[in-house]
Amino acid sequence: MEKDQIKLQEEPVVHSQSNVYSEKGNEVFNQSSREGLSSNEEVSNDIITEEDEGREPTEWEMKNLKHVGERIPYSAWLVAVVELAERFSYYGLSAPFQNYMQNGPDDKPAGLLSLKQQGATALSYFFQFWCYVTPIWGGYISDAKLGRFATIHYACYIYIVGIFLLFITSVPSITSRNTALGGFIAAIVLIGIATGMIKSNVSPLIADQIPKTKPRISIRKGKKVIIDPSLTIQSIFLTFYMCINIGSLSVMATTELELHVGFWAAYLLPFCFFFIALFALFLGRKKYIRIPVGDKIIAKTFRCAWIAVTSGFKFDEAKPSVHPEKDYPWSDHFVEEVKRALYACKVFVFYPVYWVVYGQMLNNFVSQAGSMRAHNLPNDFLQVFDSISIIVFIPIMERFVYPFIRRFTPLKPISKIFWGFMFGTGAMVYAAVLQHFIYKTGPCYYEPGKCAAQDETEPGNNVHVAIQVPAYCLIAMSEILASVTGLEYAYTKAPVSMKSFIMAIFLFTNAVGAAIGIALSSVSVDPKMVWTFSGLAVSCFIAGILFWFIYRSYNAKEEEWNELEYENELELDASAHIRPVQSPASITGLENGTLNPIRSLIHSVKSAS
């Protein structure tokens, strides 16, 4: 009896011990499973099934599989052609501006308006300022009134009128200096308005052609890869920027026409070429994905931001879920988008310093080339090396440099912008050193081209103009890193119905830079140019360092912010499945707070009326 009781008492003990052993065994098994998880996933990566195509990647796959971009659609290429034609005209007509404004008909190189370097540089900066103030208006009327396509379409006609006025008032037989000056000012005002309307909308329009989906698995050449939408956006903006610089090769033609035929011929070519932009718009009119105009979207955004700011930058105070009694006309998701957009606008604060550096290429670099031996090349011809460098560097950066860096560390936007500032600093250092050697070389030393000892056929000091090329190459690298990434950042961080307006804010920083350039134009004269370039180098370096220390934490938030963009697309997909098919005429854009893509002219026509 006692033995039976002992057995009964022992059985629970044995049973509990077996449970302990079982739990320990499961724990050991789970631990070994976790340790072998990566190796198992690595093995499974070699096994490709039909279910893999289009599915969401695992965490291991996100870290270890190759990331690639989506293929660029036909409609995006048509938008790129519009930008190429517009930039061909813009750079083609603006390249001769410095000589046209600075010199007189009897000077070497010849000009027309006789404003001297200081006056020409100031007016050049005004044109740059004007071209980057008007995008604010262009972005507003696009997001609030017309839509991107219609705004670009109307801008093309204003552009054509402006170029024609510039052309007609530069014909020597029918104009005088005063007439040419009046025509020039009127032309750059019109061209600036049109440029602003196009610039604030064309880059968002090309990016609109890419669906904002989550990363997904795809099979490429028998291997699994991840289609990464952030790389697609990066790729499309690099392609967009390369088209800009292909268009800017017009500098080669217009500067030669300026030198050997006349300014009227240099302005006639951009006038004729611009019609290609209209043709590309016509071809794509039924193919473009058009984001509809939001219902008072600008006013809502400013009201949302104001509520957050007056609440101590607490964006939760603007959310309907926190204050349902206030009946806010937006969603919690919209508040998060506005918050993200304000972060982006903070990043743009240091860009004016960069644009002052970039602007040297359009004015003081041209004047610097005029103070050297050009060997029968136009002094404004060397701008083409900036474009050539970008066309060469972009494929190298996209296919080799960026993927190589991503093998070791993620390459986030803030990092790229920082290095853009550093390359801009390098360009100014190089220009300052070059200017020092120009002043130290005869025959005219600190007054190049202005002494009796100069060679009439080769005015300028005895320094070959080709030595200036590395400065353009450094500017080109800085553009790829700072300017392209800035465009990408402005688009990806903006609310879906405000991308043109946020893009305009980014472009406005260029106008601020131009205003600073106007203030500095008084020192943009010989023999002060060494100090001008040196001061810009120091300013750009300090701005870059401050930029990095203030905003480097934004790199860690990049994936979180990108999720907001994916959620927009999921909302679109959901609405497409639950709503009945509508006729094009019934689609007005925003219904029940959800965004519908529009692929016809209907929306733009209704908005325009």
Q: Concatenate the DSSP letters of all residues of 319-340 into one string.
A: -TTT-GGG--SS-HHHHHHHHH
Higher pLDDT, residue 5 or 471: 471
Other CB atoms closer than 10 Å to residue 565's CB: what's the count?
Answer: 21
**385 pLDDT exceeds 80?**
yes
Dihedral of alpha carbons 106, 111, 113, 119, sign: negative
What's at 154, amino acid-wise? Y
The stretch 378-393 carries a mean pLDDT of 90
Higher pLDDT, residue 325 or 295: 325
Instruction: Give the pLDDT of residue 283.
Output: 94
Token reading at 431 = 């220009």
Using CA atoms, how far apart are residues 421 and 486, in angstroms rounded to an integer?
12
What confidence tier does 394 reach under pLDDT thresholds 50, 70, 90? very high
What confidence tier does 381 reach under pLDDT thresholds 50, 70, 90? confident
- For 34-50, write each residue's pLDDT tens digit: 444 455 555 555 567 76
- For 472-527, write each residue's pLDDT tens digit: 999 999 999 999 999 999 998 888 878 899 999 999 999 999 889 888 888 888 88
Name which of 143-152, 217-226, 237-246, 444-453 the model is least confident about. 444-453
Unique residue bearing structure tokens 């927009």? 568
Instruction: Give the pLDDT of residue 118.
Output: 81
In a 3-state reduction of DSSP, which class is residue 218? Answer: strand
Can you list the domains of the chain with their CATH numbers? 65-294+331-605 (1.20.1250.20)
Instruction: Give the pLDDT of residue 313.
Output: 83
Give me the helix-helix angle, 484-492 and 177-208, nearest 10°. Answer: 50
Using CA atoms, how far apart are residues 390 and 243, in angstroms rounded to an integer?
10
Residues 475 and 540: beta-carbon distance below 8 Å: no
Instruction: Give the pLDDT of residue 574.
Output: 44
Instruction: Give the pLDDT of residue 160.
Output: 97
The stretch 57-81 carries a mean pLDDT of 89
Angle at alpha carbon of residue 485, lines to 483 and 491, rounded to 5°: 105
The stretch 351-371 carries a mean pLDDT of 91
What's at 259, amino acid-wise? L
Instruction: Give the pLDDT of residue 608.
Output: 33
Unique residue bearing structure tokens 């329009």? 205
The stretch 286-312 carries a mean pLDDT of 86
Provide CB contacts within 8 A for 1, sequence distance 6+. none
Q: Counting beta carbons within 10 angstroms of the beta carbon of residue 276, is it exposed (0 to 12), middle (13 to 18) or buried (19 or more)?
A: middle
Residues 265 and 257: beta-carbon distance below 8 Å: yes
DSSP 468-493: GHHHHHHHHHHIIIIIHHHHHHHHHT
Instruction: Give the pLDDT of residue 455.
Output: 63
**17 pLDDT exceeds 70?**
no
pTM: 0.78
Residues 454 and 465: beta-carbon distance below 8 Å: no
Instruction: Give the pLDDT of residue 598.
Output: 30
Instruction: Give the pLDDT of residue 98.
Output: 85
Using CA atoms, how far apart are residues 557 and 562, in angstroms rounded to an integer?
9
- For 545-602, write each residue's pLDDT tens digit: 999 999 999 998 887 777 766 655 544 444 433 333 333 333 333 333 333 333 322 2
Question: Which of 256-270, 336-350, 538-552 is modeled with the greatest confidence?
Answer: 538-552
How far is the CA of 519 from the CAs of 119, 424, 475, 524, in angstroms? 12, 20, 22, 10
Question: Which of 209-213, 304-308, 536-540 is modeled with the greatest confidence?
Answer: 536-540
Residues 393 and 476: beta-carbon distance below 8 Å: yes
Residues 551 and 414: beta-carbon distance below 8 Å: yes
How far is the CA of 335 from the CAs of 215, 493, 494, in angstroms? 24, 13, 12
Residues 163 and 187: beta-carbon distance below 8 Å: yes
Indicate the DSSP class of residue 594. Answer: E
Token reading at 534 = 């040196």
Instruction: Give the pLDDT of residue 593.
Output: 35
Using CA atoms, how far apart are residues 106 and 337, in angstroms rounded to an integer?
58
Q: What is the mean pLDDT of the chain?
A: 83
What's at 591, amino acid-wise? E
* Terminal Cα-to-Cα distance of the chain (whole angstroms): 103
**82 pLDDT exceeds 90?**
yes
Residues 224 and 181: beta-carbon distance below 8 Å: no
Indicate the DSSP class of residue 464. Answer: B
Q: Counting beta carbons within 10 angstroms of the beta carbon of residue 313, is it exposed (0 to 12), middle (13 to 18) or buried (19 or more)?
A: exposed
Angle at alpha carbon of residue 191, lines to 188 and 195, rounded to 5°: 130
Using CA atoms, how far apart are residues 37 and 42, in angstroms rounded to an integer?
8
